[in-house]
Copies of this chain bind each other. A is one copy, B any other.
Amino acid sequence: MKKAEVAILGASGYTGAELVRLLVTHPGMRIAALSADRKAGMSMGEVFPHLGHLDLPPLQRVEDIDFSGIELVFVALPHGTTQEVIAALPRHVKIVDLSADFRLRDPEDYARWYGHPHLAPELQKEAVYGLPEFYREQLRACRLAAGTGCFVATGLLPLVPLLEAGVIAREDIVIDAKTGITGAGRGASERKLFSEVTEGVDAYNIARHRHTAEFDQELSRAAGAPVRVTFTPHLLPMNRGILATIYVKGDAREIHRVLDERHRPEPFVHVLPLGAEAPQTRHVRGSNLCRIGVTADRIEGRAIIVSVLDNLVKGASGQAVQAANLMLGLPETTGLEAAPLFP
């Protein structure tokens, strides 16, 4: 397999490091450049000692990267800083963006939820929402993929097929999500200290988490009518993993049948048997898998869906590699077959 040269912008964050982890054994891509503005000049091993044994390019500033031989760029920069960086990239490079900057199709939605006008509205028009299970063909053909929010990926994989099939009520969808801390990145803050996170749980950003806008957009599209969900994220004392417990109105058997049929061909989505023991985040750690379970509530006409994935893999960097595989014409699962790390 001839390897495509790729760059990672924002390599000093967790999703950047995870991209490196996934790409160093990827048979179809080669890391040709790494950027990290404030850590330019350092090696990846200085920033991430777990990668210290690898032969990797040094960290550079974006403007010092020679993009001439580079086919595809992963952009793992913070939300809000990405639009201008991507707008300045040469037209020959394909882009997979992991930030929130190109996820919302309507620039007014973006402005409302992110508090400032979109800085690259023209580029937004060509962006494809980056979830391969629902945008596979568009991704094969696109130049710019916008990777999804990690919570949103966890919720959409079960909910989109159900709303498309019309087997659940559009109202009364409650998404109670539990996440590990790595989704919040590596920046230092009191809130994320071990001493403040271990041995406890809390809900945060109740009724106002930004991923809500993405849910609205994609679920309304699937339903062909406006859908607004109740979404509550919780922070748990763990590194990786999101578990979404989703409360819906509909027949559990129908729900399970639709999900099972829709996802059976998917290499990374596994629907467990109806009523089976619910999936655990522990069982997808480090892998690109999403596992989904369906249980009938004791109250007639209601069901509980549990969906799990690793926020750094299927929720971010693995999803990005999957999209990149499509954009580069590689088999979709290339470099993503590793089994979960358990325990």
- Which residues of chain A have a CB within 8 Å of any CB of chain B? 14, 17, 20-21, 24-25, 48-54, 172, 174, 176, 178, 180-182, 186-190, 192-204, 206-208, 212, 228, 230, 232, 234, 236-241, 243, 245, 247, 270, 277-287, 289, 295-299, 302, 304, 306, 337-343
Contacts and interface: CB of A to CB of B under 8 A. Distances in A.
Nearest to A185: B195
Contacts of A212: 298
10 contacts: A50-B287, A182-B343, A186-B195, A188-B190, A192-B195, A193-B194, A200-B241, A247-B247, A285-B341, A286-B341
B198 A193 contact: no
Contact of A194 (B176, B197, B201): B197
Nearest to A203: B278
Nearest to A294: B206
A241 B237 CA distance: 13
Nearest to A229: B299
Contacts of A302: 230
Contacts of A238: 198-201, 237
B283 A286 contact: no
B240 A199 contact: yes
Given A237-B194, A243-B201, A245-B232, A206 B280 contact: no
B192 A50 contact: no
Counted per complex, copies of this chain come to 4
Given A212-B298, A230-B304, 14 more contacts: A17-B342, A21-B341, A21-B342, A50-B282, A196-B343, A199-B285, A200-B285, A201-B236, A202-B278, A204-B278, A207-B297, A207-B298, A234-B243, A239-B343
Contacts of A200: 238, 241, 280-283, 285
The 3 closest A-B pairs by CB, nearest first: A200-B282, A202-B280, A194-B197
Nearest to A179: B201
Given A50-B284, A193-B186, A338 B338 contact: yes
Contact of A230 (B53, B201, B239, B299): B299
A338 B206 CA distance: 30
A190 B278 CA distance: 17
Contacts of A207: 295-298, 304
A1 to B, nearest CB: 13
A43 to B, nearest CB: 13
Contacts of A208: 298
Contact of A203 (B24, B194, B198, B243): B243
B234 A237 contact: no
Contacts of A194: 181, 192-194, 196-198, 237, 239
Nearest to A216: B298
